[in-house]
A and B are shown apart, each in its own frame.
Chain A
């Protein structure tokens, strides 16, 4: 399971970076989306996958009897998802506004502020 997830993470990273390198603004955004999904999966798999063992402590015991799934990575991922959702929503609006005011379909056409 971990190997499979790791391969998926690698594939998503590769696809995300490939899209980031292209000149189209739309592809850039999709690349960022893929990248943020890849990272969320990476956090999940890096922290170790445990199936069907919720982190619950039996009544009366002070600690869990056997190894359970770590709840923290899920909390981290949830936070990261919310943040990337907000940031990407902003980026989409920014790109569409920019398209309306410059009509540029390629990032190469946006060089007026460069040095």
Chain B
């Protein structure tokens, strides 16, 4: 039991460390990275299965009892996120075997990739706010290096914006932590949840809630704090973009949901209404930004922002169905968005560009890629029967249930505009004639590279279709996860075991 909570952190750490030992031996690193990410995925799946069977469970590191020691705790939401993180690690890890260039592989790409996964798992599994900060920094440090690795000029410029804004976000987070500790004398989340609900004045708590909202809002790219994202996500190699797009903003959303369902829930009318307004604005600005773009990855980057709006919208509504909708949306979105970035990488490999006007005719030259793009893009836009349709349906239903007509209308309108962007990519890159320049740039893929590139995309594509066609088990999982979030008593009991 105890080991299960530690393994999703330990396996990436071991993988990264062993990769460092084989510095510059690319073949060995590639093998270790693949094995490590497969083991990581297996450990995460066992964790999810155990939590599903036995409920929330926690472990105290070094056997110091909570709230003194550092707690690792997995409820269903954490376990789902850990599995998604590991799944993306596996998919993008395999994809990297076919897409990453020789130099970056030699200079520690795989090590930092697994350090990133370790940080992500740590954020999901920790039960202590300061420990959460430390995992955030582990994740950020690895992401800084991955973003700048290679040192191309656009990469460095993008990295500066990414680094500066994320450091400011961490600074705000740490400020809030310091004040919170001064007030409550503890940073264990279960203990804090108990204390905030009984002892502390709401005025100060609301101020702290806003500090956390801004800090995590920067990390999850909420309106109006998202500007670092479209300025940096399109600059690194595509597998780095894909893992960032799939996981990093969603880590921010995870912490928002965790903090605003466990700690700051005594003034829901104020905090969660504000979150709902921000969610609406995030959706609209993101999708409008995407319409103005003509580069494959920039369009996708702006759509990350608009989709984060949907996930946060469920938190803003704060009903069981809405939270379930958020969790379902995260599951759907991570898979689909990562896959779209992976598709854009293959398109670039085949025709030599991310610019839509330099792409064309992919539906004839790469029919398999076209089908994969179609599945993911239409799922993102919310076409039935794909996963995005159910995700949007749950959220819209949840907002109509509590007569939130404006936010429901916004969600539907943004869905339509998303479809517009996807059709734009479709018409420019997949239909039409290939531009003359593309013929010269076209690279032939060797069969092994093709396997490494297509296998993860097919896996994620099949998952999207599966979630769409058999959404019931996934929806039930999301519903029980949301139930646990809305009843913090179980979480507190699992961590503190009745300690007064």
| Interface residue tally on A, bucketed by range | 35 or more
Quick one: given A73-B181, A97-B151, A102-B157, are A79 and B232 in contact (CB under 8 Å)? no
In contact, B168 and A102 (Cβ under 8 angstroms): no
Among listed B45-53, B170-178, B350-358, B397-405, interface-contacting one: B170-178
Quick one: given A43-B177, A87-B141, A115-B230, are A94 and B182 in contact (CB under 8 Å)? no
A45 to chain B, nearest CB (A): 8
In contact, A115 and B298 (Cβ under 8 angstroms): yes
The residue of chain A having its C-beta at the shortest distance from the C-beta of B147 within the complex is A94
| B260 within 8 Å of A (CB atoms) | no
A71 to chain B, nearest CB (A): 11
Total inter-chain residue pairs, C-beta < 8 Å: 106
Contacts of A110 in B (CB 8 A): 157, 160-161
| A105 within 8 Å of B (CB atoms) | no
Interface of B is mostly: helix
| B164 within 8 Å of A (CB atoms) | yes
| A18 within 8 Å of B (CB atoms) | no
Among listed A31-39, A50-58, A59-67, interface-contacting one: A31-39
| B159 within 8 Å of A (CB atoms) | yes
In contact, B181 and A43 (Cβ under 8 angstroms): yes
The residue of chain B having its C-beta at the shortest distance from the C-beta of A32 within the complex is B167
B274 to chain A, nearest CB (A): 23
- Give chain A interface residues in 1-35, CB to chain B under 8 Å: 20, 25, 28, 32, 35
Quick one: given A112-B154, A114-B231, are A36 and B171 in contact (CB under 8 Å)? yes
A115 to chain B, nearest CB (A): 5
In contact, B148 and A102 (Cβ under 8 angstroms): no
Quick one: given A47-B181, A101-B153, are A113 and B235 in contact (CB under 8 Å)? yes
Interface of A is mostly: helix
Taking a contact as CB atoms closer than 8 A, the residue among A35, A47, A79, A98 that contacts B182 in the complex is A47
* Distance in angstroms between the alpha carbons of A73 and B178 in the assembled complex: 8
| B127 within 8 Å of A (CB atoms) | no
Contacts of B151 in A (CB 8 A): 97, 101
| B10 within 8 Å of A (CB atoms) | no
In contact, A20 and B168 (Cβ under 8 angstroms): yes
| B234 within 8 Å of A (CB atoms) | yes
In contact, A95 and B160 (Cβ under 8 angstroms): yes
| Interface residue tally on B, bucketed by range | 35 or more
In contact, B181 and A113 (Cβ under 8 angstroms): no
The residue of chain A having its C-beta at the shortest distance from the C-beta of B292 within the complex is A115
In contact, A46 and B181 (Cβ under 8 angstroms): yes
Max chain A CB contacts within 10 Å: which of B161, B168, B183?
B168
| B156 within 8 Å of A (CB atoms) | yes
Contacts of B171 in A (CB 8 A): 32, 35-36, 39
Quick one: given A76-B181, A83-B134, A91-B163, are A98 and B141 in contact (CB under 8 Å)? no
Question: Interface code A83-108, partner B: CB below 8 Å = 1, 0 otherwise?
Answer: 10011001100110110011000010
Contacts of B134 in A (CB 8 A): 79, 83
B292 to chain A, nearest CB (A): 8
In contact, A42 and B230 (Cβ under 8 angstroms): no
| B490 within 8 Å of A (CB atoms) | no
B248 to chain A, nearest CB (A): 16
Contacts of B474 in A (CB 8 A): none
Taking a contact as CB atoms closer than 8 A, the residue among B137, B158, B234 that contacts A87 in the complex is B137
A57 to chain B, nearest CB (A): 15
* Distance in angstroms between the alpha carbons of A113 and B183 in the assembled complex: 42
| B483 within 8 Å of A (CB atoms) | no
Contacts of A114 in B (CB 8 A): 230-231
* Distance in angstroms between the alpha carbons of A79 and B148 in the assembled complex: 25
Question: Interface code A70-81, partner B: CB below 8 Å = 1, 0 otherwise?
Answer: 101100100110
- Give chain B interface residues in 113-142, CB to chain A under 8 Å: 130, 133-134, 137, 140-141
Quick one: given A48-B182, A90-B141, A113-B232, are A101 and B167 in contact (CB under 8 Å)? no
Q: List 10 A-B contacts (CB under 8 A).
A: A35-B168, A43-B178, A76-B130, A79-B130, A80-B174, A86-B141, A91-B163, A98-B157, A112-B154, A115-B231
A residues neighboring B (CB under 8 Å): 20, 25, 28, 32, 35-36, 39, 42-43, 45-48, 70, 72-73, 76, 79-80, 83, 86-87, 90-91, 94-95, 97-98, 101-102, 107, 110, 112-115
